[in-house]
Amino acid sequence: MTLRVGAHASVAGGVHNAVDEQREFGGNCGQIFSHSPQVWQDPDIDPDNAAQFRDISEEDDIGPWVIHASYLVNLATPKDDLREKSVASMQREVDAAETLGVEYVNVHLGAHTGAGVEGGLNNAASALDDLDVPEGVTVLVESDAGSGTKLGGDFDHLRAVLNRSAQDLEVCLDTAHAFAAGYDLSTPEAVEETIAEFDDVVGLENLACVHLNDSKHECGTNKDEHAHVGEGLIGEDGMRAFVNHGAIREVPLVLETPTEDGKDFAWNIRRVRELRE
């Protein structure tokens, strides 16, 4: 089986450039933003660039791709205006994914900001149900580090939204987020226990993608800061056990690791390949 590992790539100068950048990283799958994630903005996708993106990805066997939703999206919000903006933004993302031939749009559930966990989960499921998701596109709900009133830190939150939404949703598990939320991944035994718990609660059949990131902070701190693969507090033993676990071997791994200490996405992708047995 082919190891699918890649990183978040830039669409600067045209979305087709992300494929070239992914090739330079040494990746064979990947993730993009369709626009700046810090603002409410329509995806700026030129039809010719979209065709190039699709064609080059197919020619070079790079995929699957994931579009990561804007950081401003908050599906769990009780505020009507923010909900409306969030749903509209997500609709534009799933439509962009259809245009690009991208399989997945990834989104955090967001923060309930006082609505309570159950209220926030209901809000998120309801907001997702308002989407008209094109055929061939799947929305992924991402695990979270769980700080403040953010939802998705507990696997139960992911399961609840899958149950309550009428959409055919799947899940993206972020290793740094899960670790920060209290799911240990630092030893082979811990990896086995955490993956078993994920399977019991969410179901491995619903795991479509992994954000493979090490963590700069201890397990259970709810602090979301990524580290290079094998060099954070998950560490080499945990990362090796995770990427070689039978349940993970066919799941695409997308890196959101930092660029620092002379190490970039290409270094981290090579590291994952070295750890894979």
pLDDT of residue 276 exceeding 90, the answer is yes
CATH code for the domain in which residue 192 is found: 3.20.20.150
What digits encode the pLDDT tens for the residues 4-42? 999 999 999 999 999 999 999 999 999 999 999 999 999
Count of the separate structural domains present in the chain: 1
Bridge-based pairing of strands 207-211 and 170-174 is: parallel
Q: What is the pLDDT of residue 44?
A: 79
Residue numbers of the domain that contains 141: 5-275
pTM for the predicted model, two decimal places: 0.97
Q: What is the mean pLDDT of residues 216-240?
A: 98
Q: What is the mean pLDDT of residues 222-251?
A: 98
Q: What is the pLDDT of residue 272?
A: 98
What digits encode the pLDDT tens for the residues 120-175? 999 999 999 999 999 999 999 999 999 999 999 999 999 999 999 999 999 999 99
pLDDT of residue 221 exceeding 90, the answer is yes
